């Protein structure tokens, strides 16, 4: 629904809400994004390379099942990587199509109201549409049996798109591919649909035509909302290009469409088709050319990766000077002073290692200076929030007991003294309760200095 913020819940509003589950499975449970360089743990769970590396640095456990795991055991999840990339290429067109369908159904429900509101617009129709109107009468009887749904879509979904139609018409060529694209995106009655169209990338466009040809059979059952005005309600929309045709011309037209659709698709097929098919190596050149060269490089080969992989190291064995040297070797600043220098530098090195190693797995590896910027940004984001008092209390239990050890020891000694004194006095019956009371009194006595100390 929202182009800038794709989410599995987008599918809830479509006629196929089950796609929500599909997309959820294609998303990393840590960052909730579609997998980036997916890695599978030894327990079989999949995460983004960077996400699982960060998690393992934090706790050495699989986030899903809590089984212990370590970074060197992570393996590429190639199938998931391909699934994500092909899903990502069809996502927009699939969603647009389904939303349009649902939208059409809803609009049909308010048909009457809509009609009165939009009639002036309908009169501004192009000659192209008027031509179709003339044959409407002929077409009507034939289309009756063709399910009411189709007709309702026809009559209702076109109003909004009409505003955006003239520019499209002017750019429309004989290519059926372009037509079909216009057909799928224009019917969405969502305010930002126009922007989306402007942003349409060649890759998406071609993938859509691919998608359409693959699901052509389905489309024939009128999953499309056509783009002609109200009165054409009894005309057939070509399931491929969405043009309105009457009964006598629809069949030859569809045939031509199929031919037309088939012929353009091989052309962009090899180049862009690879990008949707998702074989990582073949895909690269296509995507890569779209990216700024100052930001990315070609993906690493397996050998390069193994060679460049940074080791994790061990916090307690590492010396501050070594950490500094490593960071400097990578061109990272070490301008840290104060009590926790080593800890800060170590954290920085860990995050750098995570970023670096995850970047090796990426299909679009970033250049080093971009990574360093990311490291700095990440550190800033960590600095903005400190752990709350509640958490500290739990996490620093040891420190707490160390600080107050003298107090606790004194308490225990006092309690023991009291017990032995009581025994000497020989009041055996009330011993337990008395000693408890004594200990309590001592506790109260100890309490106040403790509080002052804290």
Partner 1 sequence: MSVSTSTVAPAAGSSNTTNVTKRLQKELMQLMMSPSPGTSAFPDDPCNLLKWTATIVGPDDTYFAGKTFKLSFTFPGDYPLQPPTVLFTTPMFHPNVDMAGRICLDILKDKWSAVYNIQSILLSLQSLLGEPNNKSPLNGQAAQLWDEDPKEYKRLLEKRHQEAE
Q: How many other CB atoms are found less than 10 A from the CB of residue 440?
A: 11
Among 105, 305, 330, 378, indicate the residue that binds partner 1 (CB under 8 A).
Answer: 378
Rg (CA), the chain: 34
Q: Does 333 bind partner 1 (CB under 8 A)?
A: no
Contact assessment for residue 274 and residue 82, using Cβ atoms and an 8 Å cutoff: no
Near partner 1 in 34-73, by CB under 8 A: 51, 54-55, 58, 61, 63-64, 66
Q: Does 376 bind partner 1 (CB under 8 A)?
A: yes
Q: Which is nearer to partner 1, 134 or 394 (CB)?
A: 394
Quick one: CA dihedral 342, 344, 350, 356, positive or negative? negative
Among 394, 398, 424, 428, indicate the residue that binds partner 1 (CB under 8 A).
Answer: 394
Closest Cα to residue 422, out of 406, 408, 405, 439?
439
Q: Does 390 bind partner 1 (CB under 8 A)?
A: yes
Residue 178 corresponds to which tokens in the numbers above? Answer: 């372009």
Q: Does 430 bind partner 1 (CB under 8 A)?
A: no
The CB-of-13 to partner 1 minimum distance in angstroms stands at: 9
Q: Does 29 bind partner 1 (CB under 8 A)?
A: yes
Q: Report the C-alpha gap between 245 and 226 in whole angstroms.
A: 11
CA distances, 187 to each of 102, 104, 205 (Å): 11, 8, 16
The CB-of-210 to partner 1 minimum distance in angstroms stands at: 29
Q: Does 335 bind partner 1 (CB under 8 A)?
A: no
Q: Report the C-alpha gap between 106 and 99 in whole angstroms.
A: 10
Q: Report the C-alpha gap between 68 and 48 in whole angstroms.
A: 18
- Sorted by sequence, the CB contacts under 8 Å of residue 356 that are 6+ apart come out as 308, 310, 330, 371
Near partner 1 in 408-427, by CB under 8 A: none
The CB-of-390 to partner 1 minimum distance in angstroms stands at: 5
Q: Does 387 bind partner 1 (CB under 8 A)?
A: yes
Could you tell me which stretch among 26-34, 93-101, 215-223, 408-416 binds partner 1 (CB under 8 A)?
Answer: 26-34
Q: Does 381 bind partner 1 (CB under 8 A)?
A: yes
Q: Which residues lie near partner 1 (CB under 8 A)?
A: 5, 7-9, 12, 29-33, 51, 54-55, 58, 61, 63-64, 66, 373, 376-378, 380-388, 390-391, 394
């Amino acid at each position: 629904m929202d182009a800038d913020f794709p989410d599995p819940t987008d599918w809830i509003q479509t006629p196929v809400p089950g796609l929500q589950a599909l997309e959820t499975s294609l998303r990393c449970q840590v960052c909730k994004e579609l997998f980036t360089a997916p890695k599978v743990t030894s327990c079989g769970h999949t995460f983004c390379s960077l996400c699982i590396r960060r998690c393992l640095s934090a706790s050495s456990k699989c986030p899903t099942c809590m089984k212990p795991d370590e970074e060197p055991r992570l393996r590429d999840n190639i199938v998931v990587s391909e699934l994500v990339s092909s899903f990502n290429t069809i996502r927009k067109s699939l969603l647009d199509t389904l939303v349009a369908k649902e939208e059409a159904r809803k609009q049909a429900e308010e048909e009457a109201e809509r009609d009165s509101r939009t009639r002036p617009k309908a009169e501004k129709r192009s000659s192209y549409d008027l031509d179709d109107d003339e044959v409407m009468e002929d077409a009507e009887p034939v289309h009756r049996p063709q399910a009411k749904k189709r007709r309702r879509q026809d009559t209702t979904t076109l109003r909004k798109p009409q505003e955006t139609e003239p520019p499209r018409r002017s750019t429309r060529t004989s290519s059926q591919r372009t037509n079909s694209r216009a057909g799928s995106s224009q019917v969405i009655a969502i305010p930002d649909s126009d922007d989306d169209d402007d942003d349409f990338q060649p890759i998406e466009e071609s993938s859509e035509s691919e998608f359409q040809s693959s699901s052509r059979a389905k489309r024939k059952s009128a999953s499309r909302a056509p783009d002609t005005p109200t009165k054409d309600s009894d005309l057939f929309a070509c399931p491929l290009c969405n043009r309105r045709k009457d009964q006598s011309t629809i069949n030859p037209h569809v045939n031509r469409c199929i031919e037309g659709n088939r012929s353009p698709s091989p052309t962009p097929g090899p180049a862009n088709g690879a990008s949707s098919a998702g074989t990582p190596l073949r895909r690269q050149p296509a995507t890569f050319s779209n990216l700024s060269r100052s930001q990315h490089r070609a993906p690493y080969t397996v050998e390069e990766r193994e060679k460049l992989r940074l080791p994790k190291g061990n916090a307690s064995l590492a010396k501050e000077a070594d950490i500094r040297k490593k960071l400097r070797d990578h061109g990272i600043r070490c301008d840290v002073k104060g009590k926790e220098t080593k800890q800060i530098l170590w954290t920085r090195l860990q995050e750098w290692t995570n970023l670096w190693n995850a970047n090796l797995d990426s299909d679009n590896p970033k250049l080093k200076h971009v990574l360093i910027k990311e490291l700095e940004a990440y550190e800033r984001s960590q600095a903005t929030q400190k752990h709350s008092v509640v958490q500290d209390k739990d996490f620093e239990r040891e420190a707490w007991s160390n600080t107050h050890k003298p107090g606790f020891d004194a308490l225990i000694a006092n309690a023991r003294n009291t017990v032995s004194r009581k025994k000497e006095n020989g009041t055996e019956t009330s011993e337990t309760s008395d000693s408890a009371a004594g200990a309590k009194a001592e506790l109260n006595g100890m309490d106040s200095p403790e509080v002052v100390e804290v």
